[in-house]
Amino acid sequence: MPSEWLIECTPGICRSILTAAGLDAFEYVGYTTGHYGKHKASGVTLQFVSVLTGETAYAIFNADLTRRRTTAKGLAGTALPKGQFRAGERSHFYKFWLSTGLEIPDRMQRFYKRMGKLSGILFAGALANDRFDAQTIQPFDIAAERVRMAVLGHKEGTTWAQLGHKEDTSSGHNKTAESQTEQGFQPIPTACVSNHGKTVIREHGDKVVPITPIPTPKAPQDQSVEEWLADYESA
């Protein structure tokens, strides 16, 4: 389908599939950084919204909000600019990012430049009240067969599969054979040029009517003037 159609219709298609399958998925809508809990642990909070209900949910990942080394922009240990964070390769956030298949930034403190890429993915995970378990959240995945069964139902899905099989079978040589049978044509072994060089057809089961072969016209360069004129006038 055209890309414009997909962009316009994908949200509706996703909602229809989720509704039919009795499932829900969440869209990423943004993030914040801060310090959480009584120990003021630094982290990054991702906000999500339900595709079906519009209810919000969130997931908190541990992240470092300070500079790792001294640079022209600041001393090591000082706070990163608002919205920036650094994730280690062993962190749950890094594993979460890998699960999305998105490109990893060249530096671990530049994830903030790529966060918008998450908006094109649906997510699911273990949800308690309105908070996701950060270790379980990952891109939503559903098998095509489950979608088919959810949308069409078991009976309809079976019928669809059977029809699809017949259509696939009839799309090749069998389609021509079945079409000819439905139209009443039957193969006649003697009705061929190779039968002693003559073509015949049968009528009423036993009468044979010979068909006079159509003469092959001569090429113009092989014709006499009279023959060429005769063909020209007849045309």
Residues 128 and 35 in one domain: yes
pTM for this prediction: 0.61
90 — phi, psi (to 5°)? -100, 0
What pLDDT shows up at residue 3?
A: 87
Residue at 16 is within a domain: no
What pLDDT shows up at residue 31?
A: 97
Residue at 81 is within a domain: yes
Residues 199 and 135 in one domain: no
What pLDDT shows up at residue 228?
A: 65
Residue at 164 is within a domain: no
Count how many domains the chain has. Answer: 2
Q: How far is CA 191 from the centre of its chain?
A: 50
What pLDDT shows up at residue 235?
A: 60
Residues 125 and 227 in one domain: no
Residue at 13 is within a domain: no
* β-pair partners for 44: 33, 61
Q: Which helix (H) or strand (E) holds 28?
A: strand 26-36
Residues 125 and 46 in one domain: yes
The total number of residues shown for the chain amounts to 235
pLDDT tens per residue, the chain (235 residues)? 788 888 888 888 889 999 989 999 999 999 999 998 888 899 999 999 999 999 999 999 999 999 888 777 778 878 899 999 999 899 999 999 999 999 999 888 899 999 999 998 999 999 999 999 999 999 999 898 988 888 887 655 444 444 444 444 444 444 433 433 333 333 333 333 333 443 333 444 444 444 445 456 666 667 776 776 677 666 6
Structural domain of residue 223, as residue ranges?
186-234
